[in-house]
Amino acid sequence: MRQKPVIGVDLDGVCADFYARMREIAAEWFELPIGELTPDVSYGLSEWGVTEGRYDSLHRFALHQRDLFRTMPMIPGARKYLRKLSDEGHHIRIITHRLFIHYSHASAVQQTVEWLDGHGIPYWDLCFMKEKSAVGADIYVEDSPHNVEQLRSRGLETICFANSTNAHISSPRAESWEEVYEMIVRSYEL
């Protein structure tokens, strides 16, 4: 049997339900009933009226006034299957690009660690970086269409965690953490 892989796991949209929590916060921000904001969004949230110039203000409000990274619900199965993979000897490396709003890094890091520990998510490494391919994982679990395409273009094994932002991305795709687990185990069996 081959050595167990390093699994590079994204947080937002993969472990933490970023879109569900951000929908609640955006409804408050725009003073709209939540039902007026579709749960099926594209990357960038334009369906909610979020423009590129307005996203930073919304995100800053979400992070500082609503503890976005601390209060997101966990995606079902993330804890269970990451623990299972960890218990089986896989090295879990969390990779997230949450440091893109200037002067907000301390809040982003603190909320991230509290969320991970509070939800019992196992990990050996925690990387805050945009260039995810630089961390040296063997398999990536990612939902951002741009990141999936970039990782795959470099020949890196990448499972696309399915949501409305990445419906156009080809297989391998996983609709659940159980599917992610099965793909990783199959990939490393003799």
The catalytic site residues sit at 10, 12
Structure-derived torsion over alpha carbons of residues 121, 188, 177, 110, reported in degrees to the nearest 10: 30
pLDDT of residue 118: 97
One-letter-per-residue 3-state SS of the chain: CCCCCEEEECCECCCECHHHHHHHHHHHHHCCCHHHCCCCCCCCCHHHCCCHHHHHHHHHHHHHHHCHHHHCCECCCHHHHHHHHHHCCCEEEEEECCCCCCCCHHHHHHHHHHHHHHCCCCCCEEEECCCHHHHCCCEEEECCHHHHHHHHHCCCEEEEECCHHHCCCCCCEECCHHHHHHHHHHHCCC
pLDDT of residue 32: 96
Backbone phi, psi, residue 170, to 5°: -80, 175
Domain parsing of the chain, residue ranges:
6-17+72-187, 18-71
Q: What is the amino acid identity at position 76?
A: P
pLDDT of residue 1: 45
Strand order in the sheet with 157-161: 125-128, 91-96, 6-9, 139-142, 157-161, 173-174
pLDDT in tens, the chain (190 residues): 457 889 999 999 999 999 999 999 999 999 999 999 999 999 889 999 998 788 889 999 999 999 999 999 999 999 999 999 999 999 999 999 987 777 788 899 999 999 999 999 999 999 999 999 999 999 999 999 999 999 999 999 999 999 999 999 999 999 999 999 999 999 876 4
pLDDT of residue 3: 72
- Spatial CB neighbours of 2, under 8 Å, sequence gap ≥ 6: 188, 190
Nearest by Cα to 7 from 186, 168, 148, 184 = 184
pTM listed for this prediction: 0.93
Question: What residues pair up with 6 in beta bridges, in sequence order?
Answer: 91
Domain 6-17+72-187 CATH assignment equals 3.40.640.10 = no
Q: Decide if 85 contacts 91 (C-beta within 8 A).
A: no
pLDDT of residue 2: 54
